[in-house]
Structure 1
C-alpha cells in the first residue's frame, strides 16, 4: 500500500472552506485506500501530523496591528501565505526526510511544492500537485508552479488543462474538478433564520473593495428587484463600506452582512432562494457547488469556467451589465421553486465520491510512472 503525504500547515487551524479544508477532506477520503499522512497545523484526524509553523491565521491576527501590517506588506504581497511557507519549510523537509513517503502531495501552493522539490532532489520521491489557482492573473501562479515540475499535475477544469498543454506539452496531467460534500450540503435540513424578507439572494465572499468579488455589482443589482433581500456572508477590511452601501440602496429590512463558521454554511444556503457571486475570476468555484448542492439556482459571471461548473443549475450573464444581471436574478427567483432539482443534480457531478475515485487513480498513476526527466520545451 503506497504511503502518501499531503502538506497544508493551515489544516486543522483554518476551517473556512478553503484549500486547508480541501486538504483535510481529501486526506480523510484517501485514507480509505492508502497509508495517508497530512502535515497539518493542528490535530485533525488520526492521519494528521502537526508541524510547527506560523500559520496564515497567526499572521492575520498579528497584521491587525498597523505597524506590523506595514512591515509585512513592505516585504510580501501576501504576507500571511509567505510567512506560513517560510516557517513551515524546514519542519516539513525534516519530517519527510526522516519519514520517507512513496508520494508527496502538496496542497498549499508553492510552499509545499518547494518542500516536495527539495525532498525529491534528495530521495527521488515523486510529486503529485493540485493547481488551485487555475488561471488567476493570466496564469501567473500556474506558470510559476509548472516551473517546479511536478511529476503529475491536477487541474480543476478543461480550460486550464488546455493552457497547460500549450505551456508544457509534456506535462502529465489529470482534470479533476473541485469536490463538494453532497451529503452535508443538501436541501434537506435546518436553515438559519435571518429575518430578511423573501425571496433572499445569498452572496458568499470576502469583503474587500479591491478584490475579485465585485460585491458592489451584486448590491446594486438586487436593489433593482422590487421585493428581494440580500444576505452577504463574509468578513473583511471593507465591511463597513459594504454595510453602508447596502443600507443606503436596500435598507435594513432587505440587507444583512453576517459571518458564519464553515460548519454552519449548509444551514446558511438553505435560508436563501438564489445564490450569486459576480467575481471576475473563480479558480475553484466551491461556493457555487455548495449552493447548488443545497438546491439553489446560481447566477454568475459568464465565462467558460462558470459555464462548466454551473451547467443547467443556474444562469451565467454579463454581470457588468446591471440590466442583464438584474434580469438573470429575477429569472432565477421566478424558477426557484420549480428548479430545485436541476442545481442539485448538477452538483452531484462534483460529489466527493466521484472526485475521490479520480484522485485515487491519479495517485496510482504517479506512483507507477517513470521518474521525472527534463521534459519541458516551453514555459513562458
Structure 2
C-alpha cells in the first residue's frame, strides 16, 4: 500500500500579484516538491501597500490588518483540509493564527525567514513554530539567539538554472549604451532611488528597472528627471519574462537596506551571466562571492565609481559558477528532508 503523502500548504496573500523573493520562493519550491508531497498554495493576489510608521510593529497598519482579515477568512478552508504542515509567508497575525490552529488539530508550523533579520521574523520566532528556516547563515545564527526554544537551520533561496541562463530571447528595451539592470519591489527598503542617482553620475550608460510597488510613480519621475527617457526605463513584467530582462543588461545593481533577507534577484542575475553590484554586508557577500563588487549605497560618489568599475572588469564565467551553488534542485532536497523529518 502506497504511503499517504504529507499535505503541505503555503499561505501568501501576495502570491500571483507581486514578484518578490517570497513569491518566487513559493512558486519554485512548490513545483519542485509536488512529487514528494500533496502541495497547495493559497493566495490572495493582493498588491503591496505602504507600511505606516510605528503602528506597523503592532501589525495594526492597513497592510497588517489586511493580512489579518484575509488569514481569518482562510481559517475555515485550512480547518477543512487540516494540512500536516503550514508555511505562512506573511508573518504577524497570520503566523499567530496558524500557530493556534495547528496546535488545535496537531499540525506543524514552519516559518521560512523571508522577512530577514528584524522585527517581523522576531515576532515569527515567538509564535513558536515547529521549525524556523534562516535563508542566510547569519539569519540562522540570529534565530537561535532570539528564541533558543525553536529548532532552526540554514537553507538559502534558489534559482532555476535552466530558466535563467545567458542564451535565449532578449528583452528589447531600446536604451542607449551599456545597460545597468536593477530588479526589486518598488518600496523604500530596496533603495532603488539610490541606484537611479548613482547611475545618473555616469555617462553613456542607461538604467533599466524591473519591478512594481507603491513607489512606482515617484521612481518613474526621478528616473526620467535624472537620466532622461532615452537612458531610463521602468517596466513591470511577470516572472516568466524575467530571463529576457536579465539577458538584455550588461551588469546587475541592487543595493537594498541591510535588513534584506536574501535577494533571489542576485542569483537570477548571476545565473544569467551578469556580474553584480550589491550592498556591502555579510549576507550579500555570502550570496555574491567573487561574482561582484560591494558598496555602501549611501556614498553616492563611491557607488557610481563601483558601477563603472564593474562595467570595465572581465568577469568570465564567475557569475554563473556562483549561481550554481543555489540550484533549486539542491534547495528542494533540503526542504524534502526537513518536512519529512517533522513526522518521523
Q: Which bin holds the TM-score, normalised by the shorter protein?
A: 0.7 to 0.9
CA shift in 2, pair 1:241/1:148, >3 Å: closer
Task: Please state how far the C-alpha of 1:216 moved relative to its aligned partner.
Answer: 2.3
Alpha carbons 1:89, 1:111 under 8 Å: kept: no
Q: 2: CA distance between counterparts of 1:83 and 1:122?
A: 20
Deviations 1:175-210 (A, max 9, x none): 0001111110111111111111121001113334xx
Match of 2:232 in 1: 255
Task: Please state how far the C-alpha of 1:364 moved relative to its aligned partner.
Answer: 2.3
1:230 paired to 2:212: no
Q: 1: CA distance between counterparts of 2:98 and 2:64?
A: 21
Alpha carbons 2:21, 2:263 under 8 Å: kept: no
Task: Please state how far the C-alpha of 1:77 moved relative to its aligned partner.
Answer: 4.3
Match of 1:293 in 2: 271
Match of 1:321 in 2: 299
Task: Please state how far the C-alpha of 1:11 moved relative to its aligned partner.
Answer: 7.6
Match of 1:24 in 2: 27
CA shift in 2, pair 1:25/1:11, >3 Å: farther
Match of 1:44 in 2: none
1:85 paired to 2:65: no
Task: Please state how far the C-alpha of 1:310 moved relative to its aligned partner.
Answer: 0.8
Q: Secondary structure at the residue paired with 1:339?
A: coil
TM-score norm. by structure 2 comes to 0.88
Q: CA RMSD in A?
A: 2.4
1:7 paired to 2:4: no
Deviations 1:3-55 (A, max 9, x none): 1312225486336254234223222211222x3221424xxxxxxxxxxxxx2
Q: 1: CA distance between counterparts of 2:238 and 2:22?
A: 16
Match of 1:265 in 2: 242
Please point out which of 189, 193, 198 is paired with 1:216. 193
The 5 Å alignment of 1:1-380 reads 1=3, 2-10=5-13, 13-14=16-17, 16-33=19-36, 35-41=37-43, 55-57=44-46, 76-96=62-82, 101-110=83-92, 112-135=94-117, 139-208=118-187, 211-280=188-257, 281-335=259-313, 338-368=314-344
Deviations 1:140-173 (A, max 9, x none): 1122111121112111011111111212223211
CA shift in 2, pair 1:340/1:89, >3 Å: farther
Q: 2: CA distance between counterparts of 1:360 and 1:167?
A: 26
Q: 1: CA distance between counterparts of 2:60 and 2:127?
A: 26
Unaligned runs of 5+ in 1: 42-54, 64-72, 369-380
Task: Please state how far the C-alpha of 1:240 moved relative to its aligned partner.
Answer: 3.3
Unaligned runs of 5+ in 2: 50-58
Alpha carbons 1:92, 1:115 under 8 Å: kept: no
Q: 2: CA distance between counterparts of 1:77 and 1:107?
A: 14
Q: Secondary structure at the residue paired with 2:172?
A: coil
**Bigger-Rg structure (1/2):** 1
Q: 2: CA distance between counterparts of 1:131 and 1:237?
A: 23
Task: Please state how far the C-alpha of 1:333 moved relative to its aligned partner.
Answer: 0.7
Q: 1: CA distance between counterparts of 2:75 and 2:301?
A: 49
Deviations 1:120-156 (A, max 9, x none): 3223223332121121xxx211221111211121110
Task: Please state how far the C-alpha of 1:247 moved relative to its aligned partner.
Answer: 2.4
Match of 2:52 in 1: none
Task: Please state how far the C-alpha of 1:344 moved relative to its aligned partner.
Answer: 1.0
Deviations 1:42-92 (A, max 9, x none): xxxxxxxxxxxxx242x76xx8xxxxxxxxx98534454334223223322
Q: How many pairs were matched up?
A: 332
Q: 1: CA distance between counterparts of 2:65 and 2:99?
A: 22
Q: 1: CA distance between counterparts of 2:196 and 2:88?
A: 37
